[in-house]
Structure 1
Amino acid sequence: MIRSGADHSVFYRHSQPNLCIYLVVYVDDIVITGNDEDGITKLKQHPFQHFQTKDLARLKYFLGIDVAQSSSGIVISQRKYALDILEETGMIGCRPIDTPMNPNGKLLPGQGEPLSDPERYRRLARKLNYLTVTSPNISFPVSVVSPFITSPCDSNWDAIVRILRYIKPAPGKGLLFEDRGHEHIVGYTDADWAGSPSNKRSTFGYCVLVGGNLVSWKSKKQSVVARSSAEAEYRATL
């Protein structure tokens, strides 16, 4: 197996004709996938001979991610993880809302009274950040509330609570991966210009689809101030 240069917990092996095996290791959990069934069978026999291991068959749950497999494809979500967040914050019975953030609102540092328990805000922001693993629809609002973790105010808390209210009606919303008959790689990117009210930096976002399936996405503030909208768009493609 060859260790991936992008993630050191991922290993892979490619062989002919067009056979591959991927292995993911996290502490004492291992996930194996690929289209080389004979190779996977032999690979699983190796740890059985050297360690006390257990084959749990088809993947159903891994690192807070629910996995549902069928003939039509694979669905991943974080329903249990999302419900745990709602229960921890006392929002399990909250009134749902249609949008994760106020489109006309602008968050500024020191806007409102400082929170008496800032650690609660930090913990919730970190949890929501992990929830974006299967929820690209909250990537942008989470990126907006995350910069205030050092000194959050009540206006920041209201914004993060709104995200929870958006999650409430469909905590199991996730991603579907299916065979659509092609392997084209398509990427989209966009950026605003000087959208941050505090430092006038632009925010960019991108998404990458492989075979019509969303595999990568991000929303982040640019590291420098763009002098024009063209510059902001250009930096978003880099």
Structure 2
Amino acid sequence: MVTAASFSPSAHDPSLFVHTSPRGRTLLLLYVDDMIITGDDFEYIAFVKARLPEQFLMTDLGPLRYFLGIEVSSTSDGFYISQEKYIQDLLARAALGDERSVETPMELNVQLRASDGDPLSDPTRYRHLVGSLVYLAITRPNISYHVHILSQFVSAPTSVHYSHLLRVLRYLRGTNTRRLFFPYSSSLQLQAYSDATWASDPSDRRSLSTYCVFLGGSLIA
């Protein structure tokens, strides 16, 4: 259908298809049976939406509000994306057993090692929670570094690693309403910054590289 409608697959994302015309650009993002259609060629968007039901049994849910666990809300100044419900579901699965929250996702200058603590008898929950946090970092890039550290130990997590994982979850409990804001007035200029330590890993003395990417004034990675 997407090729018949003159969409071209994106070179950067196999689930993204692009149609360009003199009127503008139409983007179609597809994941299994969920789809987003957007762009500035409103005439072509209406054409595609009219053609799709001829080929597939589908429902038009209107303006984008929820997609794959990501919540979207619009205002007169821009739009917000968040994963508040996703966080609530994650906390429910984690079953923390208390209502505490913390101010930061990880203590300063923590250096975790593979040998810290006792091995978990069943690492399944640790792996599941870390994998969920990786996806959560889409709208909460401020936890990306901490999730990166914790993901280094998914093959053989210990009680110490798990305690630091629970701290990240308690931080999210206290900040679950935070959102990313993309103002309409923002430029579409990408800016990237990077830094690196020198031989900072306590296990193998490797350096740690870091980066952040902004779209206009909004942190996206």
TM-score, structure 2 length as denominator? 0.92
Does structure 2 conserve the Cα–Cα contact (< 8 Å) formed by 1:86 and 1:92? no
- Pair 1:5-2:14 in alignment: no
Call closer, same or farther: CA 1:115–1:32 in 2, change over 3 Å: same
Instruction: Name the CA distance, whole Å, in 2 between partners of 1:182 and 1:112.
Output: 48
Superposed CA offset, 1:193-224 (max 9, x none):
22211111222222222232333x2xxxxxxx
Call closer, same or farther: CA 1:198–1:26 in 2, change over 3 Å: same
Does structure 2 conserve the Cα–Cα contact (< 8 Å) formed by 1:77 and 1:134? yes
Does structure 1 conserve the Cα–Cα contact (< 8 Å) formed by 2:196 and 2:209? yes
What letter is aligned with 2:12?
A
Instruction: Name the CA distance, whole Å, in 2 between partners of 1:90 and 1:23.
Output: 38
Secondary structure, aligned partner of 2:174: coil
What letter is aligned with 2:145?
F
Query: 1:44: Cα distance to partner?
Result: 0.8
What letter is aligned with 1:152?
P
Query: Aligned match of 1:168 in 173, 179, 192?
Result: 173
Instruction: Name the CA distance, whole Å, in 2 between partners of 1:26 and 1:90.
Output: 30
Q: Which moved more, 1:71-80 or 1:196-205?
A: 196-205
Unaligned runs of 5+ in 1: 218-238
Which residue number in structure 1 is paired with residue 119 of structure 2?
A: 114
Which residue number in structure 2 is paired with residue 222 of structure 1?
A: none
Does structure 1 conserve the Cα–Cα contact (< 8 Å) formed by 2:19 and 2:25? yes
Which residue number in structure 1 is paired with residue 147 of structure 2?
A: 142
Taking only the aligned residue pairs, the percentage that are identical comes to 39
Instruction: Name the CA distance, whole Å, in 2 between partners of 1:92 and 1:14.
Output: 52
Does structure 2 conserve the Cα–Cα contact (< 8 Å) formed by 1:180 and 1:212? no
User: RMSD over aligned Cα, in angstroms?
Assistant: 1.4
Query: 1:89: Cα distance to partner?
Result: 1.2
Equivalences for residues 200-219 of structure 1 within 5 A: 200-215=205-220, 217=221
TM-score, structure 1 length as denominator? 0.86
Secondary structure, aligned partner of 1:148: coil
**Relative contact order (alpha carbons < 8 A, sep ≥ 6): 1 or 2 greater?**
2
Equivalences for residues 69-218 of structure 1 within 5 A: 69-91=74-96, 93-180=98-185, 182-215=187-220, 217=221
Q: Report how many residues are paired.
A: 215
Secondary structure, aligned partner of 2:152: helix
Unaligned runs of 5+ in 2: 1-6
Does structure 1 conserve the Cα–Cα contact (< 8 Å) formed by 2:186 and 2:217? no
